[in-house]
């Protein structure tokens, strides 16, 4: 395979949600792209789920701006039609009377966002990639990356080499691209683990997402589509301090269902059933620089944040949108996509924005993790006041919708 793909202009390392979107965004501008991932692309659609075990436990709450990008990349994004819209989000503090209700009606929008199973979205992106003549896919793992005078070169674990003008690293939180490019990170543990699962509840969610802040971490219920009238399904993300996580994750299913019901204050009634539970350690990680010679990081390879506001993949899609803008601008000006000026403009637009979102999440996490009386009072007053001040609330809603 030596030299087999020398005609590529762009290499994308990692075909997750962000890398797949990036490959399509570059191909849409007529760049020749090669996409690399050790996993195969998914070409078959998943049937609609009828019980808790059949849903993907990983879901994403897509903001309006992510939806816009995805629709522009693939004209027929069926998955967005099949996703569950949520019109309201009910957020409350377990210690006090603080509560805020975000409602799409308040900003004259149809929805605050769409909840999609990750695998459904990924399958749809992969389907578009497989039918795109500008994108080649190679099932392989990247081992080494080096910058040569006129190109960038990737070596795969099988020993093959691929060259291109430019490389985008979208290979997730433990990015090999980031390591090969010597891009250091600032990172720390939140000291929490998240339990994710799908649940069936005795009451319907009616398109409302719930988030309860507890001293040990937030518990979120995200509404899922019930296309067959077989239950009332939601996806849960329960972030817990390590000691509490050990205790909760060790519970037998029947006890877990009970404690989940009482912790959610039975907003959706009894929890009738839950799928297998998975746990993820939560870690904040941010690359100090996103760009190196002929290369840039996007998505989780550049930044991972606490899932409490469901912004993770949305930040990655915002990276893709800005990179697409900059590639478009480069094309108009006759610049190579690996031109440092092009990549630096991407970094200038995305790094401060991602940092601001990460700082906000950190503030939330610290503020809601404290039991101190004064902080609890300020927090509750803040929630109630924001709920009453419509202009401020509208601004918060627009911000979380990605505008």
Ligand X SMILES: Cc1cc2nc3c(=O)[nH]c(=O)nc-3n(C[C@H](O)[C@H](O)[C@H](O)COP(=O)(O)OP(=O)(O)OC[C@H]3O[C@@H](n4cnc5c(N)ncnc54)[C@H](O)[C@@H]3O)c2cc1C
Which pair of structure tokens corresponds to residue 340?
């440092």
Q: How far is the CB of 82 from ligand X (least distance, A)?
A: 17
Distances (CA, A) of 237 to 50, 122, 279: 20, 20, 9
Would you say 26 or 376 has its CB closer to ligand X? 26
Q: Which of residues 272-291 bind ligand X (CB under 6 A)?
A: 280
Site string for ligand X, 223-262 (x = CB under 6 A): --------------x-------------------------
Query: From CA 25, how far away is CA 71, in angstroms rounded?
Result: 11
322 contributes a contact to ligand X by CB under 6 A: no
Residue 289, C-beta contacts closer than 8 angstroms, at least 6 positions apart:
183, 184, 347, 351
Percent helix, strand and coil across the chain, each to the nearest 5: 40, 30, 30
188, 306 in Cβ contact below 8 A? no
Burial class (CB in 10 A: 0-12, 13-18, 19+), 204: middle
For ligand X, which stretch binds (CB under 6 A), given 165-173, 226-234, 253-261, 269-277? 165-173
Interface mask toward ligand X for 125-154; x: CB under 6 A: ----------------xx------------
- Interaction of residue 164 with ligand X, rule CB under 6 A: no
* Position 402 contacts ligand X (CB under 6 A): no
**Of 168, 151, 153, whose CA–CA distance to 16 is shortest?**
168
Contact yes or no for 240/234 (Cβ under 8 A): no
| Residue 61 binds ligand X, judged by CB under 6 A | yes
Decide: is 316 part of the binding site for ligand X (CB under 6 A): yes
Minimum distance between the CB of residue 258 and ligand X, rounded to whole angstroms? 22
Q: Which residue is nearest to ligand X (CB)?
A: 16
Contact segment (CB under 6 A) with ligand X among 269-277, 309-317, 371-379, 381-389 equals 309-317
Residues that bind ligand X (CB under 6 A): 13-19, 36-39, 60-61, 141-142, 170-172, 176, 194, 196, 237, 280, 299-300, 307, 310-314, 316
């Amino acid at each position: 395979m030596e030299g087999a793909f020398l005609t590529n202009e762009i290499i994308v390392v990692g075909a997750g949600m962000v890398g797949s979107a990036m490959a399509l965004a570059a191909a849409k501008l007529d760049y020749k792209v090669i996409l690399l991932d050790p996993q195969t692309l998914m070409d078959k659609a998943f049937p609609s789920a009828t019980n808790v075990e059949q849903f993907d436990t990983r879901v994403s709450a897509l903001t309006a701006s992510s939806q816009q990008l995805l629709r522009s990349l693939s004209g027929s994004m069926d998955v967005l039609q099949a996703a569950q819209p949520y019109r309201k989000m009910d957020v409350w503090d377990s210690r006090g009377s603080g509560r805020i209700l975000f409602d799409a009606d308040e900003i004259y929008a149809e929805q605050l966002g769409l909840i999609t199973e990750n695998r459904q979205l990924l399958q749809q992106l992969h389907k578009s990639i497989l039918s795109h003549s500008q994108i080649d896919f190679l099932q392989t793992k990247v081992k080494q990356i080096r910058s040569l005078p006129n190109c960038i070169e990737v070596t795969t674990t099988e020993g093959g080499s691929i060259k291109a003008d430019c490389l985008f690293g979208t290979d997730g939180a433990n990015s090999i691209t980031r390591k090969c490019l010597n891009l250091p990170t600032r990172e720390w543990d939140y000291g929490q683990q998240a339990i994710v699962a799908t649940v069936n509840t005795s009451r319907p969610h009616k398109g409302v997402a719930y988030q309860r802040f507890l001293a040990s971490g937030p518990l979120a219920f995200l509404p899922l589509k019930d296309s067959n009238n077989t239950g009332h399904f939601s996806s849960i993300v329960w972030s817990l301090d390590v000691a509490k996580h050990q205790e909760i994750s060790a519970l037998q299913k029947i006890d877990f269902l009970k404690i989940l019901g009482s912790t959610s204050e039975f907003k959706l009634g009894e929890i009738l059933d839950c799928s297998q539970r998975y746990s993820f350690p939560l870690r904040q990680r941010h690359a100090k620089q996103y760009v190196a010679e002929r290369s840039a990081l996007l998505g989780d390879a550049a930044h991972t944040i606490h899932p409490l506001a469901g912004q993770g993949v949305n930040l990655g899609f915002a990276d893709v949108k800005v990179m697409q803008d900059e590639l478009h601008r480069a094309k108009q000006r006759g610049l190579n996509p690996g031109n440092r000026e092009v990549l630096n403009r991407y970094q200038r637009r995305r790094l401060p924005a991602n940092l601001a979102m990460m700082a906000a999440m950190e503030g939330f996490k610290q503020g809601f993790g404290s039991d101190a009386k004064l902080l609890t009072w300020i927090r509750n007053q803040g929630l109630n006041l924001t709920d009453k001040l419509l202009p401020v609330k509208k601004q918060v809603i627009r911000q979380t919708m990605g505008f």
